[in-house]
Structure formats: C-alpha cells, structure tokens
Amino acid sequence: MTERLSFKEMCARYDVTPRTLRYYEYIELLQPERDGRSRWYGPRECARMTLILRGRKFGFQLEDIRQWLLIYEKEGTEAQMKAWIDLADGQLAELAEQRRQLDEAIDELQRLRDDTADSLKG
C-alpha cells in the first residue's frame, strides 16, 4: 500500500504552515484525496510539494510553478523538461541581475561607511 499523509503530517514533513498548505490547494498546486473533512496526500502530492518548495527556493513565482506542473499532466515529461530549461534560464538571468544590484549596493554602502569612519578620525 502506498504511503498517505494526513494534513498535519504533510505540514510537518515539509515544514510548512497549515495556511500555506491550504493556499497551495486553493491555487490548485496540490489536490489531496478527501475523505469527509480529512485530506490525504499520496506520493503524487508529495512529489509535487517537493518541486513546489524547490521552485520557491529558486525564486520562482507560484503561478510559474503551477503552469510548469500542468505541462507534465497535459504534455508529459519531455515537454515539462523543455519548459523547465526555459524557466531556469529566465530565473538564472533574474538572479544574476539581483546579484549585480546587491554587489553594487554593498560597494556603495562600504564606501559610505568608510567615508564616515574616515571623517570621524580626521
């Protein structure tokens, strides 16, 4: 028999709040089995949750993740992998730009800090 997790177990396993898990269901990232008021998460939902959290770690928007997961359901693995490459390329460019901006801000802050420290000395 395949493993099924309860709502509470799913929150604990993936270290997410109940609100987050409900929201992921609301925007149709996850679709647990229902038994009355109980929700049960099988291997498919666990795999999707892993991908969702990985995508969030890399800075992807939830809608991009949702669309990417839909590609698998509608077009299969190869189409999903090709879409992933496109998404990753875009995100890598975005992260590189953020890094450039952070480096610029750090350099400016360091200069201002050093100028202020120098003015206190002399």
pLDDT in tens, 103-121: 999 999 999 999 999 999 9
Report the interhelical angle of 62-75 vs 77-121 (nearest 10°): 160
What's this model's pTM, rounded to 2 decimal places? 0.82
What domains does the chain contain, in order, with CATH numbers? 1-57 (1.10.1660.10), 61-122 (no CATH)
Q: 62-79: per-residue pLDDT in tens?
A: 999 999 999 988 999 999
What is the secondary structure of 42-93 as a DSSP string?
A: -HHHHHHHHHHHHHHHTT--HHHHHHHHHHHHHH-HHHHHHHHHHHHHHHHH
* Dihedral (CA of 62, 66, 69, 71) sign: negative
Contact 84, 94 (CB under 8 A): no
Instruction: Extract the tokens encoding 26.
Output: 């609301």
| pLDDT (0 to 100) of residue 122 | 76
